[in-house]
Amino acid sequence: MSAVDVFEAVWLWLRQPLEYGFMRHALVAVLLVGGVGGLASTFTVVRGTAFFADALAHAVLPGVAVAYLVAGAGSAALFWGALAAALVASAAIHAVAREGHVREETAIGVVMAAALALGVAIISTRRAYAVDLTHVLFGDLLGVGPADLVRTASLAAAATALVLVLWRPMAIVAFDPVLAVTLRLPVGWLQYALLALVALTTVLALQTVGATMTLALLVTPGAAARLVARSLGEMAALSVGVAVIGSVAGLYLSYYLSIPSGPAIVLALTAAFAALRVVARR
């Protein structure tokens, strides 16, 4: 087989799934969510807030459940319900840590458990949930419609703009919050902005990888990039690259191996992490 034949075979392999409209939508969705996830995971990894990110992914459940009760199974309603729940849960963790005089890690545990329980309790009042709930837990990439893409694209653009504008102060807060205070930076607002970035990523990732595996998007790309990056900028660029490539690779794996897209994306991201680990060791 000549090089041209190989090239053509690969091209066909890549192009064939995109004959379907739903696969084209899915591809755009994973590109957008991967990009935001790569940015968010940079900060999650350097700040060591993986547990918070995981908690947030689970804490969206009651919001999704309430949205379902009120507005039915439309993906827009579920999205806004999830986003509201993520923001409420973030604020609750903050409040429990401060008012309850407990460590933040403990507050995260308390709030995450409560939110999960509340979500399950609300869901159990209805019977017909099973299928829609599965979509929230494991992602529903093939159900992405044009309206979802518009929403995802605008929010991804807003999140990216936020990070680009606040890049330097965010980098300072992530390294040394004490320096940030003495430089009179608005540390509280910057921390809220970082929190909002994680919350937004979590909710956008519900459709692509689902609540159970959002953590992979918020940790693995950043962790992989950290292995080789020498500066935060380098790390963010690499992290976005890993997240985007891993997400696209996962989508193809999902198509050709007939496995759900969520686990396929997570496994592809993990493979990227392992590959960079090998590169970094040399």
Interface mask toward other proteins for 219-248; x: CB under 8 A = -------x--xxxx-xx-------------
Number of chain positions touching other proteins (CB under 8 A): 26
Binding of other proteins by 105 (CB under 8 A): no
The two structure tokens encoding residue 166: 């606040």
d(CA 78, CA 82): 6
Smallest gap from residue 163 Cβ to other proteins (A): 13
| 46 counts as binding other proteins under rule CB under 8 A | yes
Q: Is 10 in the site for other proteins (CB under 8 A)?
A: no
C-alpha–C-alpha distance, residues 85 and 63, integer Å:
5
Residue type, 227: L
Q: How far is the CB of 190 from other proteins (least distance, A)?
A: 12
Select the span of 4-12, 20-28, 45-53, 154-162 touching other proteins (CB under 8 A).
45-53
Of the candidates 75, 63, 72, 224, the one whose C-alpha atom is nearest the C-alpha of residue 139 is: 75
Q: Which of residues 47-76 bind other proteins (CB under 8 A)?
A: 47-48
Site string for other proteins, 157-186 (x = CB under 8 A): --------xx-xx-xx-xxx-xx-xxxxx-
Assess contact for 261 and 251: CB atoms under 8 A.
Answer: yes
Residue 148 token pair: 């979802």
Helix axes 75-99, 187-208, angle to 10 degrees: 140
Q: Residue 48 CB, nearest distance to other proteins (Å)?
A: 7
The residue written with tokens 């991804």 in the block is 156
User: 38: how many CB neighbours lie within 10 A of its CB?
Assistant: 30
What residues make contact with other proteins under the rule CB under 8 A? 46-48, 165-166, 168-169, 171-172, 174-176, 178-179, 181-185, 226, 229-232, 234-235
